[in-house]
Structure 1
């Protein structure tokens, strides 16, 4: 009986010692794989996940379709960067250490992304570098926080473990998203459209300002001043190359026009007859003219005779105007035209000494 008890005690001690040895080995393996050598499984997860790309990216790499449409689809595709989970350690298999959480499904990723969109993380600067995302690579963590891909990679390399910079959650999953890039392109398109609309509006306003006269008095005055200045500038630009020749043409045209009018005056006016002179003289007497319009001195009474003592000779014109003979001759000498006109009515005349 005593022998059986000893054997049982020995077997129990053996089992307990064996269990203790297995537990120790399990903890040692877990510590060696997870804590002492973290680079084997946790370090540089983004670098290891470069090979984890969507199927269309692999097709492109093998020489598949490389057109613009295919490349655009690849740029907008979202995919998980984390590599496949490593094998469980002995401690995790024995239940001594908690096993890692299961990978997130597409439905859970949709919930995480919806929470991130609700928080507006993509519209805010990166929490690590404090710069806008723009079109730089952007990653979404399973804790719904968003960072630059390069910033998160540098943070993990600096800390040596996977820990969210915001909420300190460990063992997160990482997914590439393009929300910030789409938002930035939308903002750029909006800015371009606003600039174009502003340009069109300014162009339309400048055209209306040049063509339509305003109602305000001062603005209308400035409008016509600008129009006159524009006409003057265009005239100067047209004539500045050969201005002397242009003015010479104008002088020749005026001279030829003046000669034509003089010829017409000579042909149209004939010398009055004796009865016409009597009628013209009677008109002068009826008006009662007594002064020369040139020298403003007396002509010599109502008899209108040239031999009256003390009076200068008087000339009667066919237009019924009277002048001193010397005054009219001085006026004719001063006039440059070949056939002078009357100093008062500017009509071509015939004269008679009375």
Structure 2
């Protein structure tokens, strides 16, 4: 009877120890790390040291940036968690050993091959940019804050993608490098585009195109620029400025007319005969001023003419035009020029009575 009681007491004590071991294991591994049965208000958060050089964890790699700051890749919670009572008694399998540096290199290689850092975060569906990024031992990549929020919400440590439990987490900076590279590429592309547009605009303003329509527009634009600059830098009194231009233009015309008149020599006798033959071939015998008939050139003498015709004698100009002498004298008297021009062709003339 005593022996039976000893066996019963022994088996019940083993059952109690097993129950306590399982409860401790569930509390420490399956529930949230911040949960505590002894004191629910106690929050024991495990924070990794901020100084990468003071962590002492393995698998730590430092990357040098352009501004001299170091970007370190390190494993979060690199220290091994103590075994639970159930694991010590052999009731639950012990956790796997920590990943070595070579194993982390293989995991990161799989992540790079899958292109996880170039894709948005699977939790928040936003780009990584330069925000902190973590790599799990299952080769999946997330935002650090997103993974922490997911662990707090789910109450267990489980990968959001493959549901793997008891994973290791490593802080990486691959997405930040990709983001900086994309930003640099975009800046270079924008700068090249700006330089090309500036070069093209300079060429468009300085080199005349070969197309006829484009060449016309090119010179029109140049002329418009000259006019704008001319008006911009001229005197503010536009009326006085334009009146000065008119006076300069009229004086220039007078000078040119005087030179033209001086250059014209009086026709010789042979020239007058040639001019008269041109008039006969033309066959026009009306005065362009009074629009009445002229005397015939075939009458060499004045015996058969009337008194009215004698007073309206015909004048032959060196430009081969015929007028009444009275009409031409009246026109010359009316004109202010010292040497008037022909009423038809506006050329300086010599005249001869016929």
Using structure 1 for the length normalisation, give the TM-score: 0.73
DSSP-derived class of the 2:48 partner: helix
* Distance across 2 between alignment mates of 1:16 and 1:255: 139
- For the structure 1 residues 347 and 109, does the alpha-carbon distance in structure 2 shift closer, same or farther, using more than 3 Å as the test? closer
The alignment status of 1:54 with 2:52, answered yes or no, reads: yes
1:65-214 aligned within 5 A: 69-71=67-69, 73-74=70-71, 77-210=72-205, 211-214=207-210
Partner residue, 2:285: 291
DSSP-derived class of the 2:293 partner: coil
The alignment status of 1:42 with 2:40, answered yes or no, reads: no
- For the structure 1 residues 31 and 242, does the alpha-carbon distance in structure 2 shift closer, same or farther, using more than 3 Å as the test? same
Per-residue displacement from partner, 1:232-275 (whole Å, max 9, x unpaired)?
A: 354145226554334322222223224434555676779x8xxx
Q: Any gaps of 5 or more consecutive residues in structure 2?
A: 36-42, 57-64
DSSP-derived class of the 1:181 partner: helix
DSSP-derived class of the 2:323 partner: strand
- For the structure 1 residues 37 and 348, does the alpha-carbon distance in structure 2 shift closer, same or farther, using more than 3 Å as the test? closer
Partner residue, 1:63: none
Deviates more, 1:165-174 or 1:40-49: 40-49
Contact (CA 8 Å) 2:118, 2:178: kept in 1 or not? yes
DSSP-derived class of the 2:213 partner: helix
Using structure 2 for the length normalisation, give the TM-score: 0.73
Contact (CA 8 Å) 1:23, 1:91: kept in 2 or not? no
What displacement does 1:108 show? 0.9
1:232 to 221, 224, 230: 224
The alignment status of 1:342 with 2:342, answered yes or no, reads: yes
* Distance across 1 between alignment mates of 2:131 and 2:86: 41
Partner residue, 1:332: 332
Q: How many equivalent residue pairs?
A: 327
What displacement does 1:40 show? 9.4
- For the structure 1 residues 155 and 269, does the alpha-carbon distance in structure 2 shift closer, same or farther, using more than 3 Å as the test? closer
What displacement does 1:111 show? 1.1
Deviates more, 1:276-285 or 1:95-104: 276-285
Per-residue displacement from partner, 1:194-248 (whole Å, max 9, x unpaired)?
A: 3333333344444444534244xxxx32441353144135414522655433432
Deviates more, 1:12-21 or 1:115-124: 12-21
Contact (CA 8 Å) 1:139, 1:147: kept in 2 or not? yes
Per-residue displacement from partner, 1:59-101 (whole Å, max 9, x unpaired)?
A: xxxxxxxx97442x23xx2101125223223432332332222
Partner residue, 2:213: 221
Partner residue, 1:308: 305
Larger helix proportion of the pair: 1
Partner residue, 2:62: none
DSSP-derived class of the 1:152 partner: helix
RMSD (Å), alpha carbons: 4.2
Deviates more, 1:112-121 or 1:288-297: 288-297
* Distance across 2 between alignment mates of 1:92 and 1:249: 110
